Amino acid sequence: MSRSNQHFVASLIHTIATHTSDVNSVAFSPDGTLATASGDKTVRLWDTADFSELTASPLVGHSYYVHCCTFSPFGTILATCSTDGKLILWDVKSGSKVATFQHSSKQSIRVCRFSPDSNYIVSGSDDETLALWDITTKTLVRSYNTCNDASVVACAFTPDSTFIVSGSSIGDLRVWDAKYGHGKALSYTLDCHDLGVTSCDFSPHIKVKDHGISGCVTYELATSGQDNLVKIWEMTADLSCASVVLKQKLTLKGHEGTVNFCCFSSNGSFIASASIDKTVRVWDSSTGQQLCEVEGHTRYVTSCAFSNDSRLLASGSNDKLVMIWKLTTQEDCIVNLLDNYKEPQCALKTKDANGVHKPMDSWSAEEVGDWLGQIDLGQYRDNFVSNAIDGTELCNMNDKMLIDLGVAAMGHRNKIIRCIKTAQNKPTVSRSVSNLSDNGIPDEYLCPITREVMKDPVMAEDGYTYERSAIQGWIDKGKDTSPMTSIPLKTKQLIPNRSLKMLIQNYLDSGKG
């Protein structure tokens, strides 16, 4: 996703409700695996293709609250840390422990981060120290003492693995040498955030004035704090004398409570922030402009993370839920909704002899089998074909029928039903043509129930957006299944879709509606 001055629309595509306590940390691996860490002492791993839980999950090894989880740069190792004072490294594929580290004080470890070169991991603790560990030898390299009577709650490596920045619960930032063995802070800045820093993260971009040992390097750092702010800093290091200067560049205002977490997208273009005000916000990192406000959680949002391609945003909360959002630019939303797991393209690949797209209800059982392969669920092809599931039967498929056909994984059942709805509702959409209703109004602006322009759009648990009065009326009639998928609604909670409401209002104000 390239940098854009446009705002984003965030669409809820999945909710994970497996954890039994606060979700404290979420993280994406480079290949798309999602990790979630909780106060229930577990860490869980999810396949974002269908949000099924991986066989190695859950990871059980901590005896208390798990504060943080983070993937190694190649995604093969996951690190977690806890109130139990342990930092555990896990093999992502097998779920086995690779190593267990502990600060000498055995106090709670609040945060951990891998070095971008994969050689080290750093951890911050309530004992006022940072510890740098060698991953290969599984030994402590050095310990950094902040000497400030405060917990180390944030830390991050520069993208070249040369320096570490730490943030404390009293609000200061300190810069440490991670390469040449210096034990004292190279720089410190007091009162960066009133009442305390909560997190920090570096952009992947580096500016180098002069190459070599005497070069001058500039990094971009984002921090969040108890003062409701996200700040962007320029950190300039003179490598010839190990001199480091932090200079505040931008202040991002908008949150109405403590900002618990912030992170850059993998390309450095965007920053996401999670707050006590129950929202996640996305910002343009170059201008500080707010691009999106995401609302859905009912309690504090503790953490957030971008997928590697910046198209997905995960958020964790004290409401015990993990929500995954798809980010779409306004232009893409108006021209055409981004494809949901390739479903629109897959739905269009069945054509007749003249090359015209065939309606789903006219497909043969063999074509249904081919379609399953197109949506990456070809393992069920033989069952569908042998049971003569043609297009007519597919259009009437429900959750119980899919179970009878051997589709045991709930994520796979949900995906099949979403694909069916996509093919039924948008049989001839292409990415170059606006997805318009018969009267020329973008279809996403119409309530699926009333087919009228929405005035108060809300998202239901099924991920679809409806006019509030329409879906509330559906629920009030005692119907406990989704109007779109027929899957049971586990919660009756309705979430305002303010981004879509803004788009609809802009559309109406333009005189097109």
Q: Give yes or no: residues 132 and 223 share one domain.
A: yes
274 pLDDT tier (thresholds 50, 70, 90): very high
Distance, CA of 415 to chain centre? 19
Per-residue model confidence as pLDDT tens digits over 104-157:
999 999 999 999 999 999 999 999 999 999 999 999 999 999 877 889 999 999
Torsion over CA: 227, 232, 236, 237 (sign)? positive
pTM over 0.75: no
d(CA 429, CA 349): 12
Of the candidates 78, 496, 487, 94, the one whose C-alpha atom is nearest the C-alpha of residue 298 is: 496
Supply the mean pLDDT for the chain.
85
Q: Are 10 and 371 in contact (CB under 8 A)?
A: no
Dump pLDDT digits (tens) for 341-399. 333 334 434 555 544 557 788 889 998 988 888 777 888 899 999 999 998 899 888 88
pLDDT, residue 221, reads 97
Which helix (H) or strand (E) segment is 190 a member of?
Answer: none
End residue of a domain, out of 255, 270, 303: 255
Looking at the structure, do residues 280 and 221 belong to the same domain, yes or no? Answer: no
Which DSSP helix (H) or strand (E) runs through 370? helix 365-374
Q: How far apart are CA 86 and CA 272, in angstroms?
A: 28
200/223 Cα distance (integer angstroms): 4
Q: Which two tokens stand for residue 269?
A: 């273009």
Residues 275 and 141 in one domain: no
pLDDT digits (tens, 9 = 90+) for 451-510: 888 999 888 877 788 899 999 988 888 888 888 766 777 778 888 887 778 778 877 877
Query: Residue 203: what pLDDT?
Result: 95
Q: Left if phi > 0, otherwise alpha if psi is -120 to 50, otherwise beta: which for 398?
A: beta
Q: How many domains does the chain have?
A: 4
Q: Are residues 232 and 308 in the same domain?
A: no
Write the pLDDT tens digit of every residue in 80-110.
999 999 999 999 999 999 999 999 999 999 9
By residue count, the chain amounts to 513
234, 255, 276 — which closes off a domain?
Answer: 255
- Looking at the chain, the whole-number percentage of residues with pLDDT higher than 90 is 54
Same domain, 28 and 145: yes
SS3 265: coil
Q: Identify whether residues 320 and 297 lie together within a single domain.
A: yes
Mean pLDDT of 218-226: 96
Same domain as 267, residue 134 = no
H or E element that contains 286: none
Do 145 and 268 fall within a single domain? no
The answer on 92 and 229 residing in a single domain is yes
Q: Which residues, other chains included, contact 481 with Cβ-Cβ below 8 Å and sequence gap of 6+?
A: 487, 488, 489
Regarding whether 45 and 12 lie in a shared domain, the answer is no
- Reference 126, options 157, 169, 164; nearest CA is 169
pLDDT per position as a tens digit, 164-204: 999 999 999 999 999 877 778 888 888 899 889 999 999 99
For 316, the domain range is: 1-17+256-329
Say whether both 164 and 211 belong to one domain: yes
Is there a domain that residue 320 lies in?
yes
Evaluate whether 307 touches 315 at the Cβ level (below 8 Å). no
Q: In terms of domains, do 131 and 185 share one?
A: yes
3-state class (DSSP) for residue 425? helix
Instruction: With beta carbons less than 8 A apart as the criterion, state whether 57 and 99 touch.
Output: no
Given a cut of 50, whether residue 62 has pLDDT beyond it is yes
Contact 79, 62 (CB under 8 A): no
